[in-house]
Amino acid sequence: MTQVAQPRPANKRAQISAPTFRTDNWRLSPILTVLGLAGFVGYATFRSFQQDHYWVELYHYLTPFYSPCLSATCEPGSAVFGTLPWAFPWFMPFAAATLPFLLLFRLTCYYYRKAYYRAIWQAPTACAVREPHRSYSGETRFPLLGQNLHRYFFWIAGAIAVLNTYDALVALFHGHNGGFGIGLGNLILLANVVLLWCYTLSCHSCRHAFGGRLRSFSRHPVRYWMWTQISRLNTRHMQFAWITLGSLVLTDLYVALLSSGVITDLRFFN
């Protein structure tokens, strides 16, 4: 039997000029994202370059924005690893060895990428809303190919989290009269460190490194267990990304207010 070729439909999408027919408030999320990110970047930039009010000598509180303090002008006791032999100029943060890597860790983070691609670069602003760009190459070209280095920034961020943990623990052994003591500042430093660990360990690269890259879980039960635990955290990676921005600001602000004498630390023990 001879088959009669059916005429193929013209290969054309529906010509619809409206950028979207969405009726919900799809602009709200990108606006809030921009405000949140801009607020943090503004605060962090100001504080990183302020070069003051970062250390409370009495209780050994060091803000995470200045850890480790490396300038020769760092206040005595604030430099865990000692200082470099010269004073940093005004445009160089005292924690110049760590802040760029923390910035890169967050900049290449899979959650923040979603946030700024949507809210700032508008690719797309919201789902099913036409984006304004004429062409699109995604992460196929330099410099966005660099996003693939996220795994390295994860390991560096992990090392910096160890340092922040040390800072928080050391402060516990500098009570008002020497020795062990707990104040509100200690609790804030500790809570911040716990949240930083949650954010760092919930990272997608961490999930990959500790088990995700395996083809077979059953042959690697320990790594499967680690992958399972990290996956639990990973489902809240976005929440930890935002919470840690807030906890970093809160921790730094508390230390800055204490250091400048505006408030005094609330002590629970010693």
76, 89, 138, 261: residue in contact with another protein (rule CB under 8 A): 138
The nearer residue to another protein, 93 or 124, going by C-beta atoms, is 124
- 89 near another protein, judged by CB under 8 A: no
How far is 197 from 236, CA to CA, in rounded Å? 13
Interface size with another protein, residues (CB under 8 A): 51
Among 27, 130, 232, 236, binds another protein (CB under 8 A): 130
239 contacts another protein (rule: CB under 8 A) = no
Rule CB under 8 A: say whether 117 interacts with another protein. yes
Instruction: Establish how many alpha carbons lie within 13 A of residue 113's alpha carbon, considering only the half-sphere containing its beta carbon.
Output: 15
Among 106, 118, 193, 244, binds another protein (CB under 8 A): 118
Check residue 40 for interaction with another protein (CB under 8 A): no
How far is Cα 177 from Cα 188, in angstroms, rounded to an integer?
A: 20
Structural contact between residues 237 and 202, judged by C-beta atoms closer than 8 angstroms: yes
Listed residue (200, 163, 198, 170) closest to 185, CA to CA? 170
Element (H, E) at 55: strand 55-56
Rounded Cα gap, residues 151 and 88, in angstroms: 30
By CB under 8 A, the residues from 1 to 30 that bind another protein are: 9-16, 20-24
In terms of DSSP bridges, do strands 61-62 and 55-56 run parallel, antiparallel, or are they unpaired?
Answer: antiparallel
Minimal distance in Å, beta carbon 3 to another protein? 18
Residues that bind another protein (CB under 8 A): 9-16, 20-24, 110, 113-114, 117-118, 123-124, 127-131, 133, 135-140, 145, 148-151, 204-205, 207-208, 212-213, 215-219, 224, 234-235
